[in-house]
Amino acid sequence: MPVSVAPSRDGIVHCRCFVIPEYVRTFVWIASYRPFGAHRISVSEEGAFSSSFGMNIMISAPELSHRASLMPASPIRKLVPLGDAAKQRGIHVYHLNIGQPDIDTPVEFFDAVQSFKEKVIAYGNSQGIRLFIESLQEYYDTLSIPLLYDDIVITTGGSEAILFALMAAAEPGDEVLVFEPFYTNYNGFAIMAGVTLVPVATQAEDGFHLPSREEIEKHITPRTRAIIICNPNNPTGTVLGEKELHDVRDLALRHNLYVLADEVYREFVYEGTATSVLQIEGLEQHAVVMDSLSKRYSLCGGRMGSVISRNRAFMEVMLRFGQARLCTATLEQVGSAALVASGAKYFDPMIREYRQRRDATYEELQNIPDMLCRKPNGAFYIMAQFPVSDIEDFAAWMLTDFSDNNETTMIAPGPGFYATPGRGLNEARLAYVLNAPECRRAVELLARGIEQYNSVHRKD
């Protein structure tokens, strides 16, 4: 046992112990049975135990769970300290790394919150407040998706909807298919739920569309419980076509799998429209939608989402998960009910604005020699292949070593959007969430950065 015991000249026994907690427990237990009588054991801030008979035991902090050690840092946020340091040096950082829209949250939200007259911000119903759920029913009605009241459970953002859905669909150790590159936080949610994500590759050359049904089927095993789709997609901007959705449906029915559809970017389509899994015939018991107001109404900090399914048993579980965390924020639901009830009037101007941003960003990217990307049709991201050998290093270097006219650009490195090691090493996701001139400038900075970076770090 890695514990050292050294009697000192004053007769006090000093023990030093840098061991895992199980050993420490054993040791303290033995100590308390020594013939010194009963001992008080206290813990100092440094993690030093001392007992009433003068014994000092140094211990390390308790071990973390295996799950905790697996939890990845978000590639979207991990460069933030470097960005903050650049800002402290007086450099303006264009944030293309995070999907935070700069569009104003509509006034209906604030008006409703300000008109709230209750004297207590009380717990709401675990399913969500009636006004908000009914407004969502009406919203879905306008999309020709009739829903019952109990088909909807309000969640704390789309994030909680994803976690709830994964935990209900799969046992720890079960597998869930996901098309990579994928929204990086699925990794974290899968770890929390103990679920294994099985990546199915999509390729830039195919516009990141789904591979054939046969190819997808090769990844299905007896442990597969669900297929995640993200439509429109973050990070690729790809919008799935009917044929792809029908392929997913056929596989789900053949293998009895849930289809967990992340549709938080539903309105962000620049040519055509996105089809919801709730519109696909035959999937009534299999389709689960994870939805959010974060992007649709520029309400990211409101943390308002929902999980939606016509599968009764599934929704009963969603409600029980909801009951365990009591409810979501009451005031934000009040504001959101008014927001959703305001209808679609904000969508058209918003999509026009994002189309301009996409076009500006894409055009500028086209001007960079050897930069490869497709023009995306949805969401507000472009996944681009950069002419650099190590995107993680380049993205950090842009913040630590580069500036042009006191400006630089932050991007989200590609590897974090893949589960397969070695993929995405020269890719990055760009979020075109700034106005068109700023997007152009941000990409121009990338162009200059690439030139300088490659003159120092030779590209293979």
Ligand X SMILES: Cc1ncc(COP(=O)(O)O)c(C=O)c1O
234 binds ligand X (CB under 6 A): yes
Closest CB to ligand X among 381 and 397? 381
Closest CB to ligand X among 262 and 392? 262
Report helix angle 330-341 to 130-142, nearest 10.
30
Rounded to whole angstroms, the Cα distance separating 184 from 78 reads 12
Smallest distance, Å, CB 110 to ligand X?
A: 19
* Interface map 76-115 toward ligand X (x if CB under 6 A): -----------------------x----------------
Smallest distance, Å, CB 265 to ligand X?
A: 7
385: Cβ contacts below 8 Å, ≥ 6 apart: 204, 371, 372, 373, 426, 427
Number of H helices, E strands in the chain: 14, 17
Amino acid at residue number 142: T
187 binds ligand X (CB under 6 A): no
Amino acid at residue number 252: A
- Coil, strand or helix: which one is 143? coil
Smallest distance, Å, CB 137 to ligand X?
A: 19
Closest CB to ligand X among 159 and 408? 159
Rounded to whole angstroms, the Cα distance separating 200 from 418 reads 10
Smallest distance, Å, CB 222 to ligand X?
A: 28
228 binds ligand X (CB under 6 A): no
Residue 351 tokens read as 């999509």
Which span sits near ligand X by CB under 6 A: 152-160, 172-180, 191-199, 394-402?
Answer: 152-160
Query: How many residues interact with ligand X (rule CB under 6 A)?
Result: 13
Closest CB to ligand X among 97 and 224? 97
Smallest distance, Å, CB 342 to ligand X?
A: 19
158 binds ligand X (CB under 6 A): yes
**Residue at shortest CB range from ligand X:** 157
Closest CB to ligand X among 200 and 264? 264
Q: Tell me the CA end-to-end span of the chain in Å, nearest whole number.
A: 51
Torsion of CA 157, 163, 168, 173, to 10 degrees: 170
Amino acid at residue number 203: Q
Rounded to whole angstroms, the Cα distance separating 27 from 23 reads 6
230 binds ligand X (CB under 6 A): yes
329 binds ligand X (CB under 6 A): no
128 binds ligand X (CB under 6 A): no
- Coil, strand or helix: which one is 330? helix
Phi, psi values for residue 126, rounded to 5°: -65, -30
Smallest distance, Å, CB 296 to ligand X?
A: 10
Closest CB to ligand X among 378 and 415? 378
Rounded to whole angstroms, the Cα distance separating 73 from 358 reads 28
Which span sits near ligand X by CB under 6 A: 56-64, 156-164, 252-260, 411-419?
Answer: 156-164
Which span sits near ligand X by CB under 6 A: 57-65, 153-161, 206-214, 272-280?
Answer: 153-161
Amino acid at residue number 301: G
Question: How do the residues of the chain divide into helix, strand and coil, expressed in percent and rounded to 5?
Answer: 40, 20, 40
Smallest distance, Å, CB 236 to ligand X?
A: 11
Alpha-carbon 2 to chain mean position: 41
DSSP 84: H
The closest alpha carbon to 261, from 178, 374, 347, 365, belongs to: 178
Closest CB to ligand X among 125 and 234? 234
Q: Which of 300, 331, 341, 447 binds ligand X (CB under 6 A)?
A: 300
* Interface map 257-296 toward ligand X (x if CB under 6 A): -----x-x---------------------------x-x--
183 binds ligand X (CB under 6 A): yes
108: Cβ contacts below 8 Å, ≥ 6 apart: 335, 338, 339, 341, 342
Smallest distance, Å, CB 62 to ligand X?
A: 31
396 binds ligand X (CB under 6 A): no
Give, in order, the Cα–Cα distances in Å from 230 to each of 54, 290, 417, 452. 61, 9, 13, 36
Alpha helices, DSSP H only, in 194-230? 213-217
237 binds ligand X (CB under 6 A): no
Closest CB to ligand X among 238 and 403? 238
Smallest distance, Å, CB 209 to ligand X?
A: 17
Give, in order, the Cα–Cα distances in Å from 222 to each of 42, 58, 173, 190. 51, 48, 12, 18
159 binds ligand X (CB under 6 A): yes
Which span sits near ligand X by CB under 6 A: 53-61, 155-163, 211-219, 359-367?
Answer: 155-163
Smallest distance, Å, CB 349 to ligand X?
A: 21
Of the CA atoms within 13 Å of residue 140, those in its CB half-sphere come to 25
Smallest distance, Å, CB 230 to ligand X?
A: 5
Where do contacts with ligand X occur on this chain (CB under 6 A)?
A: 99, 157-159, 183, 230, 234, 262, 264, 292, 294, 300, 305
